[in-house]
Structure formats: structure tokens, C-alpha cells
Amino acid sequence: MKANQPLTLEAVTLSFDDPLAPRTRVVVAGKRHGDREERRTLETSTEVVAYLAASEALDAEEGEAGTIADWPSLGQVCRIHREVEYVTGPQHGTTRHEWAYALTSLPSDRADAARLEQSWRGHWQIENGLHYVRDVTLVHTQER
């Protein structure tokens, strides 16, 4: 999810900020990538699914014209926390934290947190592969 859906993002963020909200969680042990170690925690929740599935008209006078939600096929929401610790190199000893949010139509009985984490990583492998092909093709085309 990106900031182009600010109210949807806010609803999902607030649902994960509630410590009493039911959710499932999977923690991926640290993986070393050169000078850094990355640990990921993916959490899923269905708490806001009913709210986000219904369309709600917004008041233009409040600065938010249009609608919020209207995700009728929503199955669950996800949050991933990435903790990147630099173990060598110039940034040695520093840690960076990142949070990202996603919506999926897959219900929890078809995709638990572990499967969604694998899918999330698989998406970026595809995305990066496509960008690599595009970038390499563009460079070779420009060289001619």
C-alpha cells in the first residue's frame, strides 16, 4: 500500500497499532546479505476487512473527496516489519526499521502468514527481474 490511499492506509495502520487486535504472525530468522543482516516479521489480520469491504462516501469539505474502502474481495491485511542490522562496513552497528502494508484477496484459510511472506518476497523477485530486463534492453537500444 502506498500513500495514494491515505484513509485506507490509516485504517490498516491503526488496526495493527491496536495490541488487542487478533492477528497471526510469522518471524523469518535473520538472513545475511553482504554487510547486513535482515530479519522480517509478517503479521496478518482480518479485523478491518468488513470495514474496508464497504464503500463509504467522503465529505469534500473535510479535504477527502471520493470514497474510502470499497475493497469487496478483501480477505486480509498484512504488515511486514524489516529490521536491517549492519554487521560490517561503514554503517557497522546501525539498525534500520521499515514497515510496509498490503491488502490481499486471499482469506487466511488459503494463505497463512508464512505463505504470504513467501508471496511478498516472490513478488519482488518478479518485479526486479522485469525491471532488469527493461533496463538492460533500454541500455542496449540506446547504444545503437
In angstroms, the CA 45 to CA 19 distance is: 12
Torsional sign, CA 134, 135, 138, 143:
negative
**Residue 113 CB contacts under 8 Å (≥ 6 apart), including other chains:** 24, 25, 26, 42, 43, 44, 78
* 44 Cα distance to chain centroid: 11
15 falls within a domain: yes
119 falls within a domain: yes
Range of the domain at 35: 6-143
pLDDT, tens digit, 9 for 90 and up, residues 14-36: 999 988 888 888 877 677 778 88
Question: All 3 cell numbers of residue 78?
Answer: 498484512
1 falls within a domain: no
Read off the pTM: 0.70
Angle at 48 between CA 11 and CA 63, to 5 degrees: 30
Q: How many domains does the chain have?
A: 1
- pLDDT at site 126: 55
pLDDT, tens digit, 9 for 90 and up, residues 102-142: 988 988 888 888 888 887 776 555 556 665 565 555 555 55
